[in-house]
Amino acid sequence: MLDLIILTLHFFVCLLISFAIWHGPKDADLHSSSTGTVETEPDGLILIGKEGDIKKSGRVTARVNGREVVVFYHEGKFHAMDSRCYHEGGPLRLGEIEDINGQACIVCPWHKFKITLETGEGLYEGINPLEPSPTPQWQSKGVKQRIHKVTIVNGNVYLSPPDLSVSFDSDYFADKYKNGGDLAMEKQSNSEAAEQVVTRKQNPGECTNKEPLS
């Protein structure tokens, strides 16, 4: 009788172990698949993070459907745009924010291109040669950087899905850097930057601080 009880207990223990092993990997896979992603709400809004956290850090970068987007909190307002500069794909998340003619602008750390946070316009400083005494003035190149609509609900920060029926210059680099392709391109950029330094040393009289209109 005792042997029968022991055998029955042994059977149930083995059954429980098998059940735990069968369910364990599925739970782990579910957890790992959700790590590093953003959540999409039923109405299509994409959850980026907590309002308080972004206010504290000043900016946060998220990958939405493989697309890099940077969200800024500056002077009481949230702004979001493609993370890669429309000019040559520089990382705007690393840029400084400057006030230019009353407009908050992110300055690309690679080539110092200025982009307004509010509208995504590229700004450049130019002169009108027809003026008697021409003086440099800030002018717009038009909207170059894709802007993403930010919505705050119950302390959470959401982005609206981009309207891809309208294209912007920054779309090219948003696609190029999709799904983790930025590491190789940043290495390439660093290599190009090193070559530019060598060129400047070889040609010290050459001026390289001009910003093209593109």
Mean per-residue pLDDT, 160-182: 88
- Tell which phi-psi region holds residue 180, choosing left (phi > 0), alpha (psi between -120 and 50) or beta: left
pLDDT at 53 over 70: yes
- pLDDT attached to residue 15: 57
Question: Where do we find the tokens 């970068």?
Answer: 61
In this prediction the pTM is 0.66
- pLDDT attached to residue 17: 55
pLDDT at 197 over 80: no
> Using one digit for the tens of pLDDT, what is the confidence trace for 99-108?
999 999 999 9
Question: Where do we find the tokens 């299509």?
Answer: 44
Indicate the SS3 state at residue 139.
Answer: strand
pLDDT at 178 over 70: yes
- pLDDT attached to residue 134: 80
Find the range with the poorest average confidence among 51-60, 123-132, 200-209.
Answer: 200-209
Find the range with the poorest average confidence among 8-17, 108-117, 124-133.
Answer: 8-17
Q: CA-CA distance, 73 to 157, in Å (whole number)?
A: 11
* Amino acid code (one letter) for 126: G
Indicate the SS3 state at residue 14.
Answer: helix
Q: CA-CA distance, 170 to 158, in Å (whole number)?
A: 21
- pLDDT attached to residue 86: 98
Q: CA-CA distance, 153 to 159, in Å (whole number)?
A: 11
Q: CA-CA distance, 101 to 138, in Å (whole number)?
A: 7
Q: CA-CA distance, 129 to 7, in Å (whole number)?
A: 99
- pLDDT attached to residue 21: 45
Q: Is residue 36 very low, low, confident or very high in pLDDT (cuts 50, 70, 90)?
A: very low
Q: CA-CA distance, 211 to 167, in Å (whole number)?
A: 23
Q: Is residue 173 very low, low, confident or very high in pLDDT (cuts 50, 70, 90)?
A: very high
Mean per-residue pLDDT, 71-99: 97
